[in-house]
Amino acid sequence: MSATLRFQVVGEAFKKRPIDVPAPSERPSEFFAKYVFTREKMHKYLPLPTYERMMEVIDGEATLDLQTADIVAEGMKRWAMELGATHITHWFQPLTEGTAEKHDGFVEHDGKGGMVEEFNGKQLVQQEPDASSFPSGGIRSTFEARGYSAWDPASPVFVIGDTLMIPTVFISFTGEALDYKAPLKKALHALDRAATDVARLFYPDVKRVHTNLGWEQEYFLIDEGLYAARPDLLMTGRTLMGHDSAKNQQMDDHYFGSIPERVAAFMKDLEIQALELGIPCKTRHNEAAPNQFELAPIFEETNLAVDHNMLLMMLMKKVARKHGFRCLLHEKPFAGVNGSGKHNNWSLSTDTGILLHGPGRLPRTADKDAVNRENLRFITFIVETLLAVHRHNGLIKASIVSATNAHRLGANEAPPAIISSFLGKQLNDVLDHLEQTTDDTISLSSKHELRLDIPQIPELLIDNTDRNRTSPFAFVGNRFEFRAVGAEANCASAMIALNAAVAETLADFRQRVDALTADGMTTMAAVLRLVREDITACRAIRFDGNGYSNEWREEAERRGLDTEASVPLVIDRYLDAASVEMFAKTHVFTRAELEARNEIKWETYTKKVQIEARVFGDLCLNHIIPVATRYQSQLIDNVHKLREIFSDEEAMTLSSDNVQLIRQIAAHTTYITKNVERLVEARKVANRIENIREKAIAYHDTVAPLIEDIRYHVDKLELVVDDELWPLPKYREMLFIR
Ligand code: ADP
Ligand code: MG
């Protein structure tokens, strides 16, 4: 049996697993959030005063006291036990990938020799998971291994299987964040305060500002049997070798194509389970590469959206296995075809409307003052966002880089390694116009007509379809789409940096307005002057051209944008004076936290490349070289046999192609063997470096490039060695689900 067939047989076995997709008669509206302790369920399971108290807590108007927590825990327990729950876990997002949980049973001794189901407020609110094995970047040395997890009431608890899951933050005993959620909540809080202060310049009754996040999760599916036969996929999440298949995505026939039946069954199952957990899934489609797909929900408040994305990634992996697939979230599982990203659609809204929305929605009868105020409000929030992304463009990039995303960024498919913003012609025209009209004498008293000289912002802007796919941070009508985020990443990392940076510029903006109005300027005149100043200040971040071109790289350097592509060096941006100051002002991170987190980032980078190098070296030496050598021997045999039958001269002619091939194989195998030795040596040298940052740099500069270099020769061998012998499933086998 050929290797290929063997892999498929394994795949078939997995396909036969039972698939229990609920009956089609049930509608999403009937099972949505079935396993979530929603406000509605709180109303049902909690006494009214407790329910009312909880509403205040959830809306951030009150803090949770232990007495309330006890009553809430009791109601929760009753609800969860009705769904069959027997355990609880605090669910948190440590600085590794994914989420962590520690399960405890509901049971306690009843004091009479029996057991009783017990769950109280203390257990709900705070726990002390043994945290010593989670990365802390030295904040919490291992002998003082206590960190604690604390409930985030803004994210509702839910039941999975027999477990009541409680979303929590995870912090050290000295108060430093050991997770993503704690700083995210701080960043969102900072943004709320700063944006509310600015929104009030336009609408005095605004109470709070939410940030919204709508992520678009891209992923690959692959037959589980084929996956199991690829040690590189299994251990690193990507193929470290493999030649392009003759056909991949050049026909553009996958994107939005019809979804294969097995995949459709997976998607349906996944969506039902996600909807039951309150994740508002909406869109599914094929993506650009073969076997690549996307799922997007309706956007939500950012903290909840992040939790839901983490939960979805967990579900995807689980449900895929049930359907005989593996779900690949790595940003670049296959070379030569598109990688996977996670566009983060980001917007701001008040309790009264969306702040990044153009004024097109005003009634036609609205007076000119109102229209102008809307225009100016819209432009203020756009410009202050751009200013933040400009001021911290290196940091924003640092928030999305990783060893895995590095393979996607900069390739001719994904946003480049330079952060810039696409606005589209209309909005650019508006900003240019504003910047160029320097008339400061515009009459702005409320008695006079407001003459802001802003051209009417066309309604079309709202449905801006002028999409530039090469831009990492594009304005798309009523939101920015941050496209550089990696498929595998926790969105929180990007959302922390972006929201904190925008909070800083908005807070500054409000202070600057106040300073001008204290000097007697009217509010709108002050806003207009500052917006003009800021349009000029952040001009360099605006770029509507082709982000993939070499000219852009040079141009970006001239503009002073960060063009660094080495992951360990990009991570440095977290410790820039401007970043440290911004995170301190917004109370998101202390310098110590930033330093600790950077250590974890460098270490993670190093480990990832280290594992790749090991797996790659092993595969070369015990999969590729032996097989290539065996095939080479067969060819040599053939040459000898030809000599036995034919005259020397004739045999020479007949065997010349094979002799050529024997030489080719020898050249590749020699190259591979020699350079795998160099790879091992490079690793050893890097491993001796003590400084974590320096070590990551060494891995980036000396180890990672060797893998790519040797890979070229392995892929060439794949083209010539007998298919029957080739020990790994090939791209053409893995990439086309039948
Ligand atoms: P596309 O692929 O064209 O960008 P999708 O429909 O795949 O569009 O995804 C759009 C995403 O943007 C969805 O997650 C959606 O919820 C989100 N979104 C739409 N409006 C907003 C908004 N105002 N704020 C944040 N996210 C939004
Ligand atoms: Mg999109």
Tell whether ligand 1 has an atom less than 6 A from the beta carbon of residue 420: no
Cα 128 to Cα 30, 101, 131, 162, 466, distances in angstroms: 37, 12, 8, 21, 51
Look at residue 7 in the predicted model and tell me its pLDDT. Answer: 55
Is the confidence at residue 266, as pLDDT, over 60?
yes
Quote the percentage of the chain above a pLDDT of 90: 67
Lowest mean pLDDT of 274-288, 554-568, 598-612, name the range. Answer: 274-288
Tell whether ligand 1 has an atom less than 6 A from the beta carbon of residue 217: no
Q: Domain 32-179 sits in which CATH superfamily?
A: Glutamine synthetase, N-terminal domain (3.10.20.70)
Tell whether ligand 1 has an atom less than 6 A from the beta carbon of residue 341: no
Q: Which ligand is nearest to the CA of 282?
A: 1
Per residue in 24-82, pLDDT (tens digit) is 567 888 899 999 999 999 999 999 999 999 999 998 888 889 999 999 999 999 999 99
Q: Which ligand is nearest to the CA of 477?
A: 1
Ligand 1 atom nearest to 343, measured from its CA: 4
Q: Domain 188-445+458-589 sits in which CATH superfamily?
A: Glutamine synthetase/guanido kinase, catalytic domain (3.30.590.10)
Look at residue 143 in the predicted model and tell me its pLDDT. Answer: 45
Task: Summarize the chain as % helix, strand, coil (round to 5).
Answer: 50, 15, 35
Is the confidence at residue 173, as pLDDT, over 50?
yes
Ligand 1 centroid–CA 214 distance in Å is: 5
Ligand 1 centroid–CA 347 distance in Å is: 10
Per residue in 192-231, pLDDT (tens digit) is 999 999 999 999 999 999 999 999 999 999 999 999 999 9
Length of the chain: 738
**Residue 96 pLDDT level (bands cut at 50, 70, 90):** confident
What angle, rounded to 10 degrees, do the helices at 66-82 and 48-58 form?
A: 100
Q: What is the mean pLDDT of residues 228-248?
A: 92
Contacts 24+ apart (CB under 8 A), 80-85: 80/37, 80/157, 80/159, 80/164, 81/106, 81/117, 83/35, 83/159, 84/159, 84/162, 85/159, 85/162, 85/163, 85/164
Burial class (CB in 10 A: 0-12, 13-18, 19+), 441: exposed
Tell whether ligand 1 has an atom less than 6 A from the beta carbon of residue 214: yes
Look at residue 463 in the predicted model and tell me its pLDDT. Answer: 47
Say how far apart CA 480 and CA 213 lie, in whole Å: 10
Look at residue 445 in the predicted model and tell me its pLDDT. Answer: 30
Look at residue 134 in the predicted model and tell me its pLDDT. Answer: 72
Look at residue 446 in the predicted model and tell me its pLDDT. Answer: 33
Look at residue 157 in the predicted model and tell me its pLDDT. Answer: 96
Q: What is the mean pLDDT of residues 538-549?
A: 92
**Residue 546 pLDDT level (bands cut at 50, 70, 90):** confident
Average pLDDT for the chain: 88
Residue nearest atom 11 in ligand 1 by C-alpha distance: 214
Name which residue leads in pLDDT, 124 or 494. 494
Q: CA 676, 681, 683: angle at the middle one, nearest 5?
A: 95
To the question of domain 606-734 being in CATH 1.20.120.1560, the answer is yes
Ligand 1 centroid–CA 343 distance in Å is: 9
Look at residue 284 in the predicted model and tell me its pLDDT. Answer: 84
Domains in the chain: boundaries: 32-179, 188-445+458-589, 606-734
Say how far apart CA 451 and CA 552 lie, in whole Å: 37
Look at residue 358 in the predicted model and tell me its pLDDT. Answer: 62
Which residue of 286, 298, 299, 356 sits with most ligand 1 atoms within 8 Å of its CB, as the best mutation to test the pocket?
299
Residue nearest atom 1 in ligand 1 by C-alpha distance: 216
Q: Amino acid identity of 78?
A: R
Q: What is the mean pLDDT of residues 390-398?
A: 97
Is the confidence at residue 171, as pLDDT, over 50?
yes
Is the confidence at residue 379, as pLDDT, over 80?
yes
Say how far apart CA 512 and CA 196 lie, in whole Å: 15
Say how far apart CA 309 and CA 116 lie, in whole Å: 35
Which residue of 345, 348, 464, 478 sits with most ligand 1 atoms within 8 Å of its CB, as the best mutation to test the pocket?
345
Q: Are 317 and 284 in contact (CB under 8 A)?
A: no
Look at residue 235 in the predicted model and tell me its pLDDT. Answer: 97
Look at residue 108 in the predicted model and tell me its pLDDT. Answer: 77
Tell whether ligand 1 has an atom less than 6 A from the beta carbon of residue 167: no
Q: CA 210, 213, 217: angle at the middle one, nearest 5?
A: 170
Say how far apart CA 535 and CA 433 lie, in whole Å: 10
Give start and end residues of each alpha helix (H) in 135-223. Answer: 181-202
The one-character DSSP state at 701 is I
Tell whether ligand 1 has an atom less than 6 A from the beta carbon of residue 483: no
Q: Which ligand is nearest to the CA of 216?
A: 1
Residue nearest atom 14 in ligand 1 by C-alpha distance: 214
Ligand 1 atom nearest to 215, measured from its CA: 14
**Residue 109 pLDDT level (bands cut at 50, 70, 90):** confident
Look at residue 557 in the predicted model and tell me its pLDDT. Answer: 94
Q: What is the mean pLDDT of residues 583-605?
A: 96
Name which residue leads in pLDDT, 260 or 471. 471
Whole-prediction pTM: 0.93
**Residue 250 pLDDT level (bands cut at 50, 70, 90):** low
Per residue in 461-497, pLDDT (tens digit) is 444 545 667 789 999 888 999 999 999 999 999 999 9
Tell whether ligand 1 has an atom less than 6 A from the beta carbon of residue 296: yes
Say how far apart CA 576 and CA 591 lie, in whole Å: 10
Look at residue 1 in the predicted model and tell me its pLDDT. Answer: 41
Is the confidence at residue 438, as pLDDT, over 70?
no
Q: What is the mean pLDDT of residues 439-463?
A: 42
Ligand 1 atom nearest to 294, measured from its CA: 7
Name which residue leads in pLDDT, 432 or 275. 275
Ligand 2 centroid–CA 482 distance in Å is: 9
Name which residue leads in pLDDT, 668 or 353. 668
Tell whether ligand 1 has an atom less than 6 A from the beta carbon of residue 731: no
Look at residue 13 in the predicted model and tell me its pLDDT. Answer: 47
Is the confidence at residue 150, as pLDDT, over 70?
yes
Ligand 2 centroid–CA 488 distance in Å is: 16
Look at residue 536 in the predicted model and tell me its pLDDT. Answer: 97
Lowest mean pLDDT of 430-434, 496-500, 643-647, name the range. Answer: 430-434
**Residue 260 pLDDT level (bands cut at 50, 70, 90):** confident
Look at residue 285 in the predicted model and tell me its pLDDT. Answer: 81
Tell whether ligand 1 has an atom less than 6 A from the beta carbon of residue 478: yes
